[in-house]
């Protein structure tokens, strides 16, 4: 639970669905860190840990969750909200991301995903900028009971033109949408933790 709607920082866990060294999606998470309001603190989930999560196997889970899965679930639990950078593979989300979410979702009655505010974004080298992958991910949100923001939607198409060689997001339009998404995630997280009325009255009383 957040301490105070206005004073407490909102802690966000960013997960990128690509293990690639030069991943545009991880670069997009770094852009979100840069463009987020001060009240939003984004921690990016460690790539090595993500890479070490085994393929989901219920038999393995029954024998005890792998340490990397425990770390993932703890970090999701501690976060007030999630920010997912979703690569598009064959018109859907990457297996890396889906596998991590599958682990985090079990057992369903103890899933740290349950009720979690979440913002989606994605970068792809194609012209649709992960639209299809993000739409598939919204189905995953339904079953896991995550609460995804509806808008703004951030689709970074033709990513090779939008990032420079250092992995910085240089496209002004994309930067604007990422900034708007982070502002919306801050509001959405506060609303879900406190309710719209309380958040609005807190804002007014502080003005
Ligand atoms: C892709 N890519 C891709 N792009 C797209 O816009 N739509 C798609 O369906 C696919 N499919 C696809 C499948 C597979 C197996 C690979 C490896 C790639 C291209 C993809 O967008 C590109 O590789 C991105 O750079 C992946 O994201 P990261 O690794 O840069 O974060």
Mutation probe of ligand 1 site: the residue of 27, 124, 135 with most atoms within 8 A of C-beta: 124
Q: How far is the CA of 122 from the centre of ligand 1 (A)?
A: 10
Structure confidence at residue 139 (pLDDT): 98
Q: Which tens digit of pLDDT belongs to each residue from 116-146?
A: 999 999 999 999 999 999 999 999 999 999 9
Q: List, chain by chain if needed, residues with CB within 6 Å of any ligand 1 atom.
A: 18, 20, 23-25, 87-91, 124-126, 128, 159
Where on the phi/psi map is residue 62: left (φ > 0), alpha (ψ -120 to 50), or beta?
Answer: alpha
Q: Which tens digit of pLDDT belongs to each residue from 67-103?
A: 999 999 999 999 999 999 999 999 999 999 999 999 9
Q: How far is the CA of 165 from the centre of ligand 1 (A)?
A: 18
21's tokens:
């060294």
Structure confidence at residue 200 (pLDDT): 62
Q: Which atom of ligand 1 approaches the CA of 24 most closely?
A: 30
In CATH terms, 10-201 corresponds, of 3.40.50.12280, 3.40.50.360, 3.30.930.10, 3.20.20.60, to 3.40.50.360
Q: Where are the domains of the chain?
A: 10-201
Q: What is the DSSP string of 147-163?
A: EE--SS-EEE-SHHHHB
Strand partners, 15: 84
Q: How far is the CA of 33 from the centre of ligand 1 (A)?
A: 23
Which residue, 46, 81, 82, is CA-closest to 67? 46
Q: Which atom of ligand 1 approaches the CA of 16 most closely?
A: 31
pLDDT band (50, 70, 90) for residue 8: confident
Neighbours of 56 (CB within 10 A): 16
């Amino acid at each position: 639970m957040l301490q105070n709607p206005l004073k407490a920082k909102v802690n966000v866990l960013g997960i990128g669905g690509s293990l690639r060294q030069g991943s545009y999606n991880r670069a997009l998470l770094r852009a979100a860190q840069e463009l987020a309001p001060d009240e939003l603190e984004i921690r990016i989930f460690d790539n090595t840990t993500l890479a070490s999560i085994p393929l989901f196997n219920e038999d393995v889970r029954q024998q005890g969750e792998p340490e990397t899965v425990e770390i993932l679930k703890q970090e999701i639990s501690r976060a007030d909200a999630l920010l997912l950078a979703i690569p598009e593979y064959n018109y859907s989300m990457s297996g890396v991301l889906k596998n991590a979410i599958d682990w985090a979702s079990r057992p369903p009655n103890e899933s740290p995903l349950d009720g979690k505010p979440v913002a989606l974004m994605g970068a792809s080298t194609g012209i649709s900028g992960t639209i299809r992958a993000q739409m598939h991910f919204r189905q995953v949100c339904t079953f896991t009971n995550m609460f995804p923001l509806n808008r703004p939607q951030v689709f970074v198409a033709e990513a090779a033109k939008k990032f420079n060689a250092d992995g910085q997001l240089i496209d002004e339009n994309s930067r604007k949408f990422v900034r708007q998404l982070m502002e919306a995630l801050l509001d959405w997280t506060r609303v879900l933790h406190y309710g719209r009325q309380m958040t609005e009255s807190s804002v007014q009383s502080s003005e």
